[in-house]
């Protein structure tokens, strides 16, 4: 897809992979809506993009709330005249053992990691269908292909995103010429571990940095760009992106 002048919505754009993707797309001439809950952070990201000559807007959005998502999409479409690209990226990973019964954290992961993706897709899809083109990128994970102890619920949510992406592609790619990409990164340097309330698992995750050279968020953003820049007849359906020294 030729990206200059296209419009993208990136959820979870206040930090990490989403912030890097927003900046990378803006550098290609894409008008970007950066969506998340922390508005001051979004405004910082927008300023950085504008300082680099790009076009972007901050959109306060809680992906768990369908009305908030619809309002954000409406604001983006009103400001930029349409939408061509959705990057479903907001997510969280509070690791813990199942037997510790952190049920609130399980529900939160289901709400953000699964229902958030469904809410954003539902709000954007009619716009893409009416244009007869577009691209939806879903951030799954290595945890959407493999299950790790302590990450059972997170893995369940990311397996759901891998499955949803494939089903979405099967239904809408041939019929509406809307491409779907499921990106499955390994370990990435971001704020993701900051939400781990279990001290043991948080240390275990942080200690991974001693043996694995984490990907940067920009590394992942560049693979998103690769999928978007493929010729229109090419759908990069899956991207499994790992640090070179992260074992399967």
Ligand X SMILES: NC(=O)c1ccc[n+]([C@@H]2O[C@H](COP(=O)([O-])OP(=O)(O)OC[C@H]3O[C@@H](n4cnc5c(N)ncnc54)[C@H](OP(=O)(O)O)[C@@H]3O)[C@@H](O)[C@H]2O)c1
- Residue ranges binding ligand X (CB under 6 A): 11-18, 36-38, 41, 61-64, 89-93, 112, 116, 139, 141, 185, 187-188, 190-192, 217
154: annotated active-site residue: yes
Least gap, CB of 140 to ligand X (angstroms)? 7
Least gap, CB of 81 to ligand X (angstroms)? 24
Least gap, CB of 191 to ligand X (angstroms)? 4
CA distances, 126 to each of 21, 111, 153, 233 (Å): 23, 22, 30, 21
- The residues near 176 (Cβ < 8 Å, ≥ 6 apart) are 128, 129, 132, 133, 134
Q: How far apart are CA 95 and CA 82, in angstroms?
A: 38
Q: Between 3 and 58, whose beta carbon lies closer to ligand X? A: 58
CA distances, 139 to each of 165, 178, 207 (Å): 10, 17, 24
Q: Between 12 and 33, whose beta carbon lies closer to ligand X? A: 12
Q: CA neighbours within 13 Å on the CB side: how many for 146?
A: 9
Q: Between 65 and 133, whose beta carbon lies closer to ligand X? A: 65
Least gap, CB of 178 to ligand X (angstroms)? 21
Question: Considering 68, 128, 136, 154, which one is annotated as catalytic?
Answer: 154
Inter-residue contact 138 to 181 (CB < 8 Å): yes
Q: Between 49 and 63, whose beta carbon lies closer to ligand X? A: 63
Helix or strand or coil: residue 238?
Answer: strand
Q: CA neighbours within 13 Å on the CB side: how many for 158?
A: 25
Residues identified as active-site: 154
């Amino acid at each position: 897809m030729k990206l200059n002048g296209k419009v993208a919505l990136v959820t979870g754009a206040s930090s990490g992979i989403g912030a890097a993707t927003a900046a990378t797309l803006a550098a290609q001439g894409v008008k970007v809506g950066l969506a998340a809950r922390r508005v001051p952070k979004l405004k910082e990201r927008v300023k950085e993009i504008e300082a680099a000559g790009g076009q972007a807007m901050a959109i306060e959005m809680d992906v768990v709330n369908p009305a908030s998502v619809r309002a954000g999409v409406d604001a983006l479409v009103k400001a930029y005249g349409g939408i061509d690209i959705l990057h479903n990226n907001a997510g969280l990973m509070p690791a813990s053992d199942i037997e510790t019964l952190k049920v609130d954290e399980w529900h939160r992961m289901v709400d953000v990691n699964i229902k958030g993706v469904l809410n954003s897709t539902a709000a954007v899809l009619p716009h893409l269908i009416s244009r007869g083109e577009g691209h939806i990128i879903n951030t799954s994970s290595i945890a959407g292909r493999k299950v790790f102890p302590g990450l059972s619920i997170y893995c369940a949510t990311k397996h759901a995103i891998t499955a949803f992406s494939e089903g979405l592609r099967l239904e809408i790619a041939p019929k509406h010429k809307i491409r779907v990409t499921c990106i499955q990164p390994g370990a990435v340097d971001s704020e993701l571990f900051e939400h781990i309330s279990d001290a043991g698992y948080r240390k275990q995750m942080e200690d991974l940095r001693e043996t694995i050279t984490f990907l940067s968020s920009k590394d992942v953003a560049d693979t998103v760009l690769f999928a978007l820049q493929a010729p229109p007849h090419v759908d990069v359906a899956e991207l499994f992106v790992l640090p070179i020294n992260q074992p399967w």
